[in-house]
């Protein structure tokens, strides 16, 4: 019995002709002139933005009890802490790329956040890190000493001032010296203030420094008079005359 070829369609399979993809014949473009209105990429993007759905914002909530307020504040602080960590990484990255201005700005914000959170030790470490690569920054030294003064750490603040004025280069030395002198005056340490003026005048002979030194001596005389409450028509003491002569001598020089 002769073998005959089986028809695939009889077995339920598709034939080769049936599997061929029949694409429509392309139309021939008759008019090849450009359209009168051209669509730009900016227009496409603008239309896409216009078709976007409006941003769904959560409804305003009114806090009615302490528990809910506590949860809200806790969430804000947790978000703040997360942002602090990223600020530190960002500042370190900017520092590694030698962009010190941006790193300085980020460090300042980071320190402010740590102060708000009450992390004093972290603030100190940040100032130390900050001054490692920018020891000439007088503003940073002044802020660091202000932090210690706000904590009533007088000796720490004084030690920082001494360390600051010992730096070989400072961007604004007058600012730092003035802050140190005002610090000692506020503490009532007049003898230390005199020593600071003398040390400062070893480095500069600027007339303004001499004038402020003379004004300081004159103000100490007035303060001594108020403290002693001298009666009227009393002969001035030798110490008072010495102080006056010292102030006059400073102005003459």
Residue-wise pLDDT for 88-130, tens only, equals: 444 454 445 444 455 556 677 777 777 877 888 888 988 888 8
In this prediction, residue 214 carries a pLDDT of: 87
pLDDT band at 49 (very low <50, low <70, confident <90, very high): confident
Structure-token pair, residue 113: 């956040």
Domain boundaries, position 73: 68-134
In this prediction, residue 222 carries a pLDDT of: 66
- For the four alpha carbons of 135, 136, 141 and 143, in that order, the dihedral sign comes to negative
Residue 194 counted as domain residue: no
Span 199-217, average pLDDT: 84
In this prediction, residue 166 carries a pLDDT of: 92
Rounded to whole angstroms, the Cα distance separating 239 from 251 reads: 19
Residue 121 counted as domain residue: yes
In this prediction, residue 228 carries a pLDDT of: 59
Rounded percentage of the chain residues whose pLDDT exceeds 90: 17
Rounded to whole angstroms, the Cα distance separating 196 from 182 reads: 10
Residue 80 counted as domain residue: yes
Flag whether pLDDT at 61 surpasses 80. Answer: no
Span 214-242, average pLDDT: 62
Residue 229 counted as domain residue: no
The pTM score is 0.51
The total number of structural domains in the chain stands at: 1
- The values of phi and psi at residue 53, to 5°, are -75, 145
- pLDDT tens-digit series, residues 132-178: 878 888 988 999 999 999 999 999 999 999 999 999 888 888 889 99
Residue 88 counted as domain residue: yes
- For the four alpha carbons of 120, 121, 127 and 130, in that order, the dihedral sign comes to negative
Q: For the chain, first and last CA: distance in Å?
A: 139
Which comes out higher in pLDDT, residue 114 or 235?
A: 114
Residue 127 counted as domain residue: yes
Residue 130 counted as domain residue: yes
In this prediction, residue 57 carries a pLDDT of: 66
pLDDT band at 213 (very low <50, low <70, confident <90, very high): confident
In this prediction, residue 203 carries a pLDDT of: 83
Flag whether pLDDT at 184 surpasses 70. Answer: yes
Rounded percentage of the chain residues whose pLDDT exceeds 70: 59
pLDDT band at 8 (very low <50, low <70, confident <90, very high): low
Rounded to whole angstroms, the Cα distance separating 12 from 121 reads: 83
Residue 117 counted as domain residue: yes
């Amino acid at each position: 019995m002769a073998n005959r070829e089986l028809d695939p369609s009889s077995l339920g399979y598709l034939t080769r002709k049936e599997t061929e993809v029949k694409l429509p014949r392309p139309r021939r473009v008759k008019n090849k002139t450009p359209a009168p209105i051209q669509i730009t990429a900016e227009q496409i993007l603008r239309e896409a933005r216009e078709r976007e759905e409006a941003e769904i914002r959560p409804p305003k909530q009114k806090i009615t009890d302490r528990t809910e307020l506590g949860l809200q504040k806790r969430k804000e602080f947790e978000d703040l802490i997360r942002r602090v960590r990223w600020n530190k990484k960002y500042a370190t990255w900017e520092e590694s790329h030698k962009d010190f201005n941006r790193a300085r700005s980020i460090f300042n914000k980071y320190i402010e956040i740590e102060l708000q959170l009450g992390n004093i030790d972290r603030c100190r470490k940040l100032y130390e890190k900050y001054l490692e690569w920018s020891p000439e920054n007088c503003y940073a030294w002044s802020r660091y000493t202000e932090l210690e003064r706000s904590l009533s750490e007088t000796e720490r603040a004084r030690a920082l001032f001494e360390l600051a004025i010992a730096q070989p280069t400072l961007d604004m030395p007058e600012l730092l010296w003035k802050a140190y002198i005002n610090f000692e005056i506020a503490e009532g340490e007049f003898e230390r203030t005199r020593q600071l003026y003398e040390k400062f005048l070893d480095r500069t002979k600027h007339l303004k420094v001499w004038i402020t030194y003379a004004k300081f001596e004159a103000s100490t005389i007035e303060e001594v008079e108020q403290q002693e409450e001298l009666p009227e028509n009393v002969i001035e003491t030798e110490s008072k005359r010495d102080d006056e002569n010292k102030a006059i001598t400073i102005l003459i020089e």
